[in-house]
Amino acid sequence: YQQNPKTHTIVKQLLAEGNAGELQKYFGSRMEFGTAGLRAAMGAGISHMNDLTIIQTTQGFCRYLEKNFSDLKKRGVVIGFDARAHLSSGGSSKRFARLAANTFISQGVPVYLFSDIIPTPFVPYTVTHLKLCAGIMVTASHNPKQDNGYKVYWENGAQIISPHDKGISQAIEENQEPWPQAWDDKLIDSSPLLHDPYAMVNKEYFKDIQKQCFYRNINKETNLKFVHTSVHGVGHKFVQLAFKAFDLSPPFAVPEQKDPDPDFPTVKYPNPEEGKGVLTLSFALAEKDGARIILANDPDADRLAVAEKQESGEWKVFSGNELGALLGWWIFTCWKNNSRDTRAIKDVYMLSSTVSSKILRAIALKEGFHFEETLTGFKWMGNRAKQLMDQGKAVLFAFEEAIGYMCCPAVLDKDGVSAAVITAEMASFLATRNLSLSQQLKAVYDEYGFHITKASYFICHDPEVIQQLFDNLRNFDGKNTYPKSCGRFKVSGIRDLTTGYDSSQPDQKAILPTSKSSQMITFTFANGGVATMRTSGTEPKIKYYSELCAPPGNSDVEQLKKELDELVNALEKHFFQPEKNKLQRKTE
């Protein structure tokens, strides 16, 4: 008797064919459990997401939680899922979530399993709201359709950080034999340990985000129209509810993309970060309905892209850094003008990741609140925000350039639902002043100094080439010397978070945590430019992020852009050396 006939058949077929190469791919190595949990294609074998690997992962996670929480059986865990499914292997987010729930319940652990698809931020929200020990979200976010993932939150409501990933990984290794009845997920339906938080969270979450609603009267009256797309994911219903909670008229939903569809039929990649290609249908609907602003969520609704129609009739898609600047300005302004928060400005914080724009630093310096940068990824911002909140500080906002925004302290992770409705309120308010989002962005830069950013990546499938490229940067002019210049641009500072070196610190040691397992070097240039080169945790890419920060008053934007373009060209030519290293450029 085999537990999953579909994956069983796939493997049997390969055995019959004697296909050693494919079998090696399926069974050669187990998926690695990292701080982002699991992310891999659905299919057979221990290198893929399937019933067995989900059971094994959850068994390990369960044992690890038992070791860390004496009251696990009192508090329990929450599990959510998106709408992904894979016909050929029988895997789906819902099936995986039910198997995970079954594993915990078999050990007497209460499980709050959402009965229907939800946005990813609802899981960290529920952990915090119900004071649970942990949360699991089964989603692959905006990855290609064959992928799925298993994302883990700790009791503080933030994604796990080291050493939990190592601990869980080890516990998975130690618990690979499926427990009795591991596959029998029907058992959970009659268990008193199974709870459905869906109705409660749908009420409480929308009540909590209303604390960020400051202009209800304007929202009621505005004649600004919005288009929303959930890109075949989970976002539609929840963004509609968020608009209702803010007294805004519902946005026009892109009909072809509003219902969940695991095939993502209308887009090449279901990732709004990829820009205009994903938004083609949104532009068409906006033209038809006379909407000026488009709000686009990724399939698990934790990210948000925004586009606005310009006077010229062109559409401008804001970068993550530009929207970060707008939301940072807006949320601070609302706090200053309307907040009933009695805390002094010295107790107010904003965060962003080290590869994101430093515009918040400029606003913080001028306005007198605190800005901190963290390592890349929301797990760092979520954990740091929680630490600060526990010290009585107000963390108003955090963002990363990969279109992730945390606008509401009830969710310590990126949240595309609250970000969408807060952006809509900001746009409605600005419209009463006859300002567009683009005009306000320029006003922010005029006041706090222009911050121009440019990011891209090269694809490289050979880890040795990547290692060689970074070794070369660390031994540029002889052993242990970093580059002193990049083309005509003089290097004034170097921070290497792989080795922990920072030339700007008195003891030459970096302040941010160091990780030997990933490559990351930041160069500061004499002209006010900054560029970071890093490897990606989830893809075969070497990414770079560059920014030119000008002091307020320097308004020659075209000159700044030209200078940044030249800096980026020099970076590619001298530091990446794409021809020599056979790197493949990002294709637009």
Catalytic residues: 141
Radius of gyration for the alpha carbons in the chain, expressed in angstroms and rounded: 24
Tell me the Ramachandran region of residue 131: left when phi exceeds 0, alpha when psi lies from -120 to 50, beta otherwise.
Answer: left
CB-CB contact of 121 with 301 (8 Å):
yes
Among 138, 167, 170, 165, CA closest to 151: 138
Location of structure tokens 């006859």: 434
Continuous segment of H or E residues that includes residue 327 = helix 320-338
Q: Which of the 8 DSSP states describes residue 361?
A: H
CB-CB contact of 286 with 292 (8 Å):
yes
Residue type, 305: A
Neighbouring residues of 53: CB distance < 8 A, sequence distance ≥ 6: 30, 31, 38, 46
343 three-state secondary structure: coil
Burial zone of 203 (CB within 10 Å; 0-12 exposed, 13-18 middle, 19+ buried): exposed
Which CA distances in Å does 395 have to 62, 320, 335, 383? 32, 19, 11, 12
3-state DSSP helix/strand/coil % of the chain, to nearest 5:
40, 20, 40
Residue 305, strand partner residues: 296
SS (H, E, C) 108-155: CCCEEECCCCCCCCHHHHHHHHHCCCEEEEECCCCCCCCEEEEEEECC
CB-CB contact of 40 with 48 (8 Å):
yes
Among 390, 391, 389, 358, CA closest to 372: 358
